Amino acid sequence: MKKTRTKYLRLAAVALIAAVALLDAAFLILPDAAMSPAENRALQQMPAVTLDGLTSGRFESRFEDYVADQFPLRTGWVRVKSALDRLLGKVESNGVFLGRDGWLIQNFNEPDAENYRQTVEAVRGFCTFRANLRQYMIVAPSAVTVCADKLPANAPAGDESGFIDRLQSDLSGTPLQFIDVRETLAALAREQQPYYRTDHHWTTPAAYAAYLQFARAAELPGASVPYEPVLLSDSFSGTLTASSGFRMDETDPLVAYLPESSVNYVVTYAGESGRHASVYWTENLNKRDQYTVFFNGNHPQVTIETGAESRRALLMLKDSYANCFAPFLIQDFRKIIMIDPRYYTGDLGVLIESEAITDVLFLYNANTLAGDAFLKMDLK
What is the DSSP code string of 306-369? E--S---EEEEEE-GGGGGTGGGGGGT-SEEEEE-TTT--S-HHHHHHHTT--EEEEEEEHHHH
Residue 41 pairs in a beta bridge with 36
Nearest to 103 by CA among 230, 199, 24: 199
> What's the mean per-residue pLDDT of the chain?
85
Least confident of 69-78, 127-136, 246-255, 285-294: 69-78
Q: Residue 67: its pLDDT value, please?
A: 58
HSE-up of 213 (CA within 13 Å, CB side)?
22
Q: Which helix (H) or strand (E) holds 121?
A: helix 113-129
Q: Residue 33: its pLDDT value, please?
A: 64
Tell me if residue 216 falls in helix, strand or coil.
helix
380 has pLDDT over 90: no
Task: Using pLDDT thresholds of 50, 70 and 90, give the confidence band for residue 77.
Answer: low
CA dist., res. 252 & res. 171, Å (int):
36
Q: Residue 217: its pLDDT value, please?
A: 97
6 has pLDDT over 80: no
Burial of residue 123 (number of CB atoms within 10 Å: 0-12, 13-18, 19+): buried
| 16 vs 311, more confident | 311
CA dist., res. 68 & res. 90, Å (int):
20
83 has pLDDT over 90: no
Q: Residue 166: its pLDDT value, please?
A: 97
CA dist., res. 235 & res. 249, Å (int):
10
CA dist., res. 294 & res. 146, Å (int):
23
149 has pLDDT over 70: yes
Q: Residue 367: its pLDDT value, please?
A: 93
What average pLDDT does the segment 158-170 reach? 97
174 has pLDDT over 80: yes
**Residues 6+ positions from 189 with CB-CB distance below 8 Å:** 146, 147
CA dist., res. 164 & res. 93, Å (int):
25
Q: Residue 261: its pLDDT value, please?
A: 84
HSE-up of 48 (CA within 13 Å, CB side)?
4
HSE-up of 76 (CA within 13 Å, CB side)?
3
108 has pLDDT over 90: yes
Q: Which helix (H) or strand (E) holds 21?
A: helix 2-29
How far, in whole angstroms, is CA 148 from its chain's centroid?
Answer: 19
46 has pLDDT over 60: yes
Nearest to 321 by CA among 360, 301, 291, 341: 291
378 has pLDDT over 80: no
- The reported pTM is 0.79
Cα 40–Cα 43–Cα 48 angle in degrees, nearest 5: 155
Tell me if residue 104 falls in helix, strand or coil.
strand
Q: Residue 124: its pLDDT value, please?
A: 93
329 has pLDDT over 90: yes
DSSP string, 7-19: HHHHHHHHHHHHH
N-terminal to C-terminal alpha carbon distance within the chain:
75
Task: Using pLDDT thresholds of 50, 70 and 90, give the confidence band for residue 373.
Answer: low
DSSP 8-state symbol, 280: B
282 has pLDDT over 70: yes
112 has pLDDT over 70: yes
Q: Are 211 and 203 in contact (CB under 8 A)?
A: no
DSSP 8-state symbol, 133: S
| 193 vs 46, more confident | 193
What average pLDDT does the segment 110-133 reach? 91
Amino acid at 366: A
Residue 208 pairs in a beta bridge with none
CA dist., res. 24 & res. 16, Å (int):
12
9 has pLDDT over 70: no
Amino acid at 36: S
What average pLDDT does the segment 56-60 reach? 64
Q: Are 246 and 104 in contact (CB under 8 A)?
A: yes
| pLDDT tens-digit series, residues 206-249 | 999 999 999 999 999 999 999 999 999 999 999 998 888 887 77
| pLDDT tens-digit series, residues 19-40 | 556 655 655 666 766 655 555 5
CA dist., res. 275 & res. 88, Å (int):
52
Q: Residue 48: its pLDDT value, please?
A: 72
